[in-house]
Structure 1
Amino acid sequence: MTGPLRPAFHEGQVLAAADLSATVTHARAAAARHSRYLHDWGVAEGLELLTENRTDPVTNARFVEVRVSPGLAIDGNGREVVVPETVVLRESDFEEVNGADPATTSPYPVFLTALDREPGGSAPQLDSCGGNTAKTRVEESYQILFGRLGDELTFADPPPPPVGALPAEPPAPWRVLLGYVQWTSGHFTAVSVTARSVSVRYVGVRADTVAARSGSLTLRTKPAVQDGQPALQLSGGEQPSLIFGLYQGGTVAPLMTMQANGNLNIEGSFSGRISAGSVLVASGTATDGMILPLPAGVTAEQVATGQVVLHTQLTPRVPPITGPKTIQCPVEATVDSSRRVRCLIRLTEPFSERPGVVDFLVLATVTATKGGGRQ
């Protein structure tokens, strides 16, 4: 099998239609391979399902008119699908596909596919004998299709085309999901971007290295900068750092910063898994009947499952002597399996036992896994 063929020309060559078509085909194939293998297919810009409230003049029922905004998608063949202007979805097209279905509140998928058309505005050319020839333009158009319930599940991630495949021509369209419409009593009533765990897919980038020429690389969750939205910023230069924060006034306000020396600064509190071999401590004073607290970061579930082992030390406090013949001594200072303290102090004259007070120290040790890793 040969590789891609690039047209070559020379002086005096008679150019046939196939020669000129090969020039276009070569460029289209190169662009398709770029989009197919350096990017993930999906919606690139626009193509939102928008609604406008309407009222049925006969039944006075409220419904919505659904429109697809202008935009661009890249399908899995690497082909651009351009919708140059707003398109109103026709209810008659929906009924043709799903009109026989029983009433349901489940949303139906809406797809976009590429479609070549014969342009209506281009005039045919005349040949040397004065006759008409074929039109010299092809419109790279689109088609919006309504799917059946669950169609998005069967086309969520189809197999990619062969490496050398050209952008597919009908009848092999690639369906790009635009969203979902809800249908009630002969009208559209709502739209959504997710149904049955399948959402609208947006274009992505395939790369093992992303380099910033300015020395600062920012990742954010929205195309435009919006206050309150998260961002991750990697900066080089004299003071390299990695910052996670939220946009405020157009800049990233740090919530977590890692410096080049490894120092980590966190604006809020820190919690998470405890590494094997760690020892956490809680201390204080408790009276008889109290339940000892666990060290910060340790849960009762971790203790119950054996991930954390507790070690407890109690030191009774002996109250001051109240009389010349009175002797006070601790007779019990224990803690049970539920961490409840039992502390008793005995007095000799007059003889009595009363609840006592202890100073406690709770050590929580994290057991190691078989591999010596993290819990």
Structure 2
Amino acid sequence: MSTTSIPVTGLNPYEVRVGRDILADLAAVIGTAATKVLIVHAPPLSRHAEALRAQLEPRYQVLLAEVPDAEAAKRIEVAAFCWQVMGQTDFTRTDVVVGLGGGATTDLAGFVAATWLRGVRVVQIPTTVLGMVDAAVGGKTGINTAEGKNLVGAFHAPAAVLADLSLLDALPRNELVAGYAEVVKAGFIAEPEILEIVEADPLVATDPATDEFRRTVELAIAMKARVVGEDFTEQGLREILNYGHTLGHAIEHAERYQWRHGAAISIGMVFAAELSRLTRNLSDSAVDRHRSILESLGLPTTYPLGRWKTLLATMQRDKKARAGMMRFIVLDDIGRPAVLNGAEEPLLFAAYQEIAA
């Protein structure tokens, strides 16, 4: 199967390569200027990390930094461990960090690369659907704090992203579907074709071996590439990518990051749709479509009513808030996102009541 190259334009242009068994391209992407490569990976990917090290040596000195799995990797102590490895091996500005893993690992690897010597190159190899269509693309990097998700970070474009679909073949179904929530998000805000493919057959759409899966993933990546190419530092258009994320991130925080990102974002999208119905006259059928599509994938669409005050407090600290006002991405219609500024708490609670279990 051929490789698709999706360009990301802007001040630091790069390509997202999508295909199967494409990791042989890694050395060519790293190039000849580097002498050292740091592969940041989670424990379940140790075998893949060792295989990449064998592939890259002796051309480069390859260092492995094993970090905790999932959101536990996105802590300042873990970033400091990576910096220590780099410092003890004289890692220079011409050397390269490789992020091998899901969204949390690529977020961490990107942040480590952005901050070491004020910025070294990073090549992202996402191993989850979430990583391929969202976290690894666009140059947003970050770590979490006790106060919230991704409150510390930097914009740092990767040198390249290698989205090797063969890495998804052994992914557990729940992990794959959770990540696919971000593909569906792309459908709601910009690419309705994705929704049509899912509605035709959810199982086929979420099977990494099918043409339908590859089509939806490429559509989601291409959408994000267009948006971040135009608005790298999220001054305007890029905000639409936060659809469902304000409440979703608050749920992740409330659940101490034990929930999968996509599960929380699924609920967040239904909340955003209900808010859109109240403020933008989004049709009942469009709101119902959110529920039917997400539930057909086995994703949650409700959350306990009694958690509202906790969620509200977290949303008020969200990094998207400006001048003390919360900001939400809403929909005028499917494929027509808009920004809602300064919604009052009674209105938000009314929308939340519609998703409360």
Q: TM-score when scaled to structure 2?
A: 0.21
- Higher strand proportion: 1
Structure with larger RCO (C-alpha < 8 A, sep 6+) = 2
Q: TM-score when scaled to structure 1?
A: 0.20
